[in-house]
Structure 1
Amino acid sequence: MATPESAVQDYDVVISGAGLAGSAAAILLARRGARVALLERRSDPEAYKVLCTHSLTACAYPVLDELGLIPALEKAGAVRNAARWHTRWGWIEPRSAPAGPELPYGYNIRRSTLDPLIRSHAAQTPGVDLLLGHQVTGLVRDAGRTVGVRASSPQGEREIRARLVVGADGKDSAVAKLAEVPARRYENGRFGYLAHFRDLPLPGGVSHAWFLEPDMAYAFPNDDGVTVLAVLPDKKRLPAFREDLEGSFAAFVRALPEAPPIDAAERITKITGMVDYPLHTRKPTAPGIALIGDAALTGDPLWGVGCGWALQSAHWLTEATAAAATGRGDLDRSLALYARRHRRRLTGHQLLAVDFARSRPFNPVERLMFSAATLDASLARHMHLFGSRLIGPLRFLNPLALAKASVVNIKHLRATAPPTRS
């Protein structure tokens, strides 16, 4: 359904939130001819998200490339995010196949660098009006659908009308709440604390993750020689952690296998916490409305996928709705197309994350795959593709992969079994 002809259009699209998802959507939609109002509640163009894994998984690389951000990221010192993962069976260390192509990669880069960069890129894109200090306070409705927003700013209240309203305003999305889009909430059995360290060497200079069953930790090298170090223990440990936060954080890290030498590094931020960080899933559309990034789906931070999914959802929305948003198609059908793609691409990943967020040990299938990946290079690469969200759960756990993992483990058991007495 097109927006009623009686409604005066200020813009084709109004986006609430000028972070990763919102700025990316603004750029991509404007390039396809849309007039975009990009609203950001904060007045500082250098504002950024603090609580974040600061990682752009490889699934986001094509979007970064289309946005034209790769050279700027490289110039800013973003680190290509190769990784190794510790398990009870040893380390999973994905490497390119001999004479094969380079493993797909994304980037680790601090949000203090990334957010202003992409926001500036959006502001310089013809067709985008970046409106800082504008906070959405209400929705404008006409004939049962949303046709704009009301926003407060230092200059007072204003109404901005558009064919499409996009909520890119995070897990506590004002747009979603004003539109009464219901959210499914899943408890997270872990809490988390993170801090930034300078001059913290990591083996190979690559990202590290520790699967301690059920506790977790990760260390991601970022731009300017800064490493983001996070611990995500079971919530049962929270009371003891709170009694001595700095001591508990340091002790947890020192106990990690091949522990990062934090005592020799400089901690340059305070230790910031995520004591209660549930997972949220919302229907990504409503009449005249689309939700992208964390507004549509908030995953478990331990996987470091939120930034990548923010960029991907902005791209999926653009591909589905750009024509309709500029008056050249049926907006409701376009929104339905976006919703289907969003569900198809992310629901399986989210369901697995929800299950693992119960803070449990590995299940039998996970034990099979993780243990075999410590022994077999091709399975380690397969794990890399899944961890980068370049393949979904069904491809990750396909019958051939499960069969190969079984064979690898059986051969290993036979090779390491003590000799039988004759």
Structure 2
Amino acid sequence: MTKPENAPYGTGYGDAATYGYDVIISGASLAGSAAATLLARRGVRVGLLERRSDPEAYKVLCTHSITANAYPVLDELGLVPALEEAGAVHNDARWYTRWGWIEPRPASSGPELPYAYNVRRSVLDPLIRARAAETPGVDLLLGHRVTGLLREAGRTVGVIASTPRGEREIRARLVVGADGKDSAVAKSAGVPVRQFENARFGYLASFRNLPLPGGIGQTWFLEPDMAYAFPNDDGVTVLAVLPDKKRLPAFREDLEGSFLAFVRALPEAPPIDSAERITKIIGLVDYPLHTRRPTAPGLALVGDAALTGDPLWGVGCGWALQSAQWLAEAVAPAVTGRAGDLDGALAAYARTHRRRLRGHQYLAADFATARPFNPLERLMFSAAARDDALARHMHLFASRLIGPRQFLNPAAMARAAAVNLRHRR
């Protein structure tokens, strides 16, 4: 027997007998906590449900990197000073290709390159969750696992949650799934998912006292294999390998030996034999990319629940934060009943999500086939290894500050062709 829960409303929030909250969010990790904070600051009453009972819980399997596209979200959340104080590392990077290293540097008379942070999720998750919990208008409900949805006339109107006090119903104008790639909210709502197979697998581990050239992130494009090393807070470096699945039998036979041998063979390999490994080697053999339509009547999806990219690009954290911001901006007036139509607001969020991420996901899904660089990629990557302006252009794309069309604009391709022609001469 479920027990309805109708939390009190502040003045002007509508019918408390009908809705317990304006918005219920399932999942208090990055996307969910950011969405709760940003919605509540816009006058929305939010119930933030988290299945785990520990406020310090965090995601373990992650790149631990936030791309620069999400810096404005961190700034709006007021987290930049706290991240700096926690020792988060600016995520500058260089990339190895068969043509040499691409090393973005600021122009001599220009501003510094855009950045966000590399920071361990053990630091980031509790920090952003605490920010949500201290925001007026947010009720953080730990130990609340969504087990089903309340539906009326084809519309989601709340959730059924398993709690420490038993099962109960909580109603809301809008339910948000921020519960990851295996989203229970999306599955309960019957939101279809489109999957793209990933021809690579991945393993990572954390090391202490692992020096990197320039003290910045390193990525290796080995065609088809990949690897990266990201320095994080507290002197910890996350080192990941993403080989073609043809290498999988060797890794299954000897995970540690294969992992270490792979890293040792990298160009300018990090000196792992003199570093201290402080975690187990963890990873996934199968990690398909997937996309879901981010809205349905009375429902929205943010973060990995809506779209899971390829982990080799390290974009998941940034897109989680951005999608939370897009949702808050789109639905806040309508979900409180102050202005606008909620279905129209959800449609606007879906359009933004599709416009900003569809091109990136298309390229990522194509590259996840473990194919070699195509002609346009060979043109741009080879030129970026030889030209500072194109290296900065590559940095903007890798930071997801520009999309594929801007990255491959005619002026950039013309410059790349000229750079390569001069190089051949």
Give TM-score, length-normalised by structure 2: 0.96
Task: Kindly report the root-mean-square deviation, in angstroms, between the aligned alpha carbons of the 2 structures.
Answer: 1.2
Number of residues of Structure 1 aligned to a counterpart in Structure 2: 412
Write the deviation string for residues 344-389 of structure 1: whole angstroms up to 9, x where unpaired: 0000000000000001111111000000000000000000000000
Given candidates 281, 289, 294, the residue that maps to 2:291 is 281
Matched ranges for 1:119-198 at <5 A: 119-198=129-208
What is aligned with 1:325?
335
Write the deviation string for residues 167-196 of structure 1: whole angstroms up to 9, x where unpaired: 000000000000000000000000000000
What is aligned with 2:372?
361
Q: Which amino acid aligns with 2:368?
A: A
Give the Å deviation of 1:141: 1.1
Q: Which amino acid aligns with 2:272?
A: I
Given candidates 385, 399, 403, the residue that maps to 2:410 is 399
- Where 1:77 maps in the other structure, the secondary structure is coil
Q: Which amino acid aligns with 2:417?
A: S
Matched ranges for 1:9-408 at <5 A: 9-328=19-338, 329-408=340-419
* CA distance in structure 2 between the partners assigned to 1:160 and 1:325 by the alignment: 16
Write the deviation string for residues 275-307 of structure 1: whole angstroms up to 9, x where unpaired: 100001000000000000000000000000000
Give the Å deviation of 1:274: 1.2
* CA distance in structure 1 between the partners assigned to 2:65 and 2:108 by the alignment: 27
Deviating above 2 A after TM superposition, structure 1's stretches of 4 or more consecutive aligned residues are 3-7
Write the deviation string for residues 63-117 of structure 1: whole angstroms up to 9, x where unpaired: 0000000000000000000000000000000000011001000100000110000
Give the Å deviation of 1:121: 0.7
* CA distance in structure 2 between the partners assigned to 1:326 and 1:22 by the alignment: 18
* CA distance in structure 2 between the partners assigned to 1:153 and 1:197 by the alignment: 38
Give the Å deviation of 1:154: 1.3
* CA distance in structure 1 between the partners assigned to 2:363 and 2:154 by the alignment: 36
Gaps of 5+ in 2: 1-12
What is aligned with 2:7?
none
* CA distance in structure 1 between the partners assigned to 2:218 and 2:142 by the alignment: 37
Gaps of 5+ in 1: 415-422
What is aligned with 1:420?
none
8 Å Cα contact 2:14-2:336 kept in structure 1: no
Write the deviation string for residues 311-338 of structure 1: whole angstroms up to 9, x where unpaired: 0000000000001111122100000000
* CA distance in structure 2 between the partners assigned to 1:4 and 1:282 by the alignment: 31
* CA distance in structure 2 between the partners assigned to 1:34 and 1:248 by the alignment: 51
- Where 2:112 maps in the other structure, the secondary structure is coil
Q: Which amino acid aligns with 1:109?
A: V
- Where 1:8 maps in the other structure, the secondary structure is coil
Give the Å deviation of 1:143: 2.1
Q: Which amino acid aligns with 1:413?
A: R
* CA distance in structure 2 between the partners assigned to 1:252 and 1:6 by the alignment: 59
What is aligned with 1:417?
none
